[in-house]
Structure formats: structure tokens, C-alpha cells
């Protein structure tokens, strides 16, 4: 879900001309999928370093797997 939201936000920025990007909707969604996957890995690494509650880690890990799966589907 966050992949789609980031993709749509990037597309809105492109349409508003805030940045000098020229991306299609598909390019924006693909860019969003890359950002979503990268962000999740960083948070999981921080969680592991800080040794947070295993339940919180498991919930976020499951959400990360779902985001990665959605990213792969949108990319393909």
C-alpha cells in the first residue's frame, strides 16, 4: 500500500512541476516501490540493533515482506 502512495505522491510532484522530473505514472510507481523496499530494510536494521520487542519486530517484518511482494508485482 505504501508503494502506491509514494508512487502517487511522486506523480503529483511531477504534474505540479515542483521538480524538473518527467516521469510517467508507471515510472512514479516503480520509483515508489524502490523507496518503500529500501526504507523497510533500514528500519529492520535499526530494530535489530536496538533489540526491540520481538513482537514489534515480527509485525514490522511481516509488513515489510508484504511491501516487497507488492513492489515486485508493480515492477513486473
- Write out pLDDT tens, residues 3-18: 567 677 777 777 777 6
Range of the structural domain that residue 62 is part of = 1-75
The count of other CB atoms within 10 Å of the CB of residue 63 is 14
pLDDT of residue 42: 78
- Of 44, 54, 9, 56, give the one whose Cα is nearest residue 28: 9
* Residue 2 pLDDT grade (very low, low, confident, very high; cuts 50, 70, 90): low
pLDDT of residue 53: 85
- Write out pLDDT tens, residues 22-73: 777 777 777 776 666 667 777 788 888 888 888 878 888 887 788 778 778 8
Give φ, ψ of 24 to 5 degrees. -80, 175
CA dihedral 2, 37, 40, 14 (to 10 degrees): -50
Query: How far apart (Å, rounded) are the C-alpha atoms in residues 31 and 7?
Result: 7
pLDDT of residue 38: 64
Domain count, the chain: 1
Amino acid at each position: 500500500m505504501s508503494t502506491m502512495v509514494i508512487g502517487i505522491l511522486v506523480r503529483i510532484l511531477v504534474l505540479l512541476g515542483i521538480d524538473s522530473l518527467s516521469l510517467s505514472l508507471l515510472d512514479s510507481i516503480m520509483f515508489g516501490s524502490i523507496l518503500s523496499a529500501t526504507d523497510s530494510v533500514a528500519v529492520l536494521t535499526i530494530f535489530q540493533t536496538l533489540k526491540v520487542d520481538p513482537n514489534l519486530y515480527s509485525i514490522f517484518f511481516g509488513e515489510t515482506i508484504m511491501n516487497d511482494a507488492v513492489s515486485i508485482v508493480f515492477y513486473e
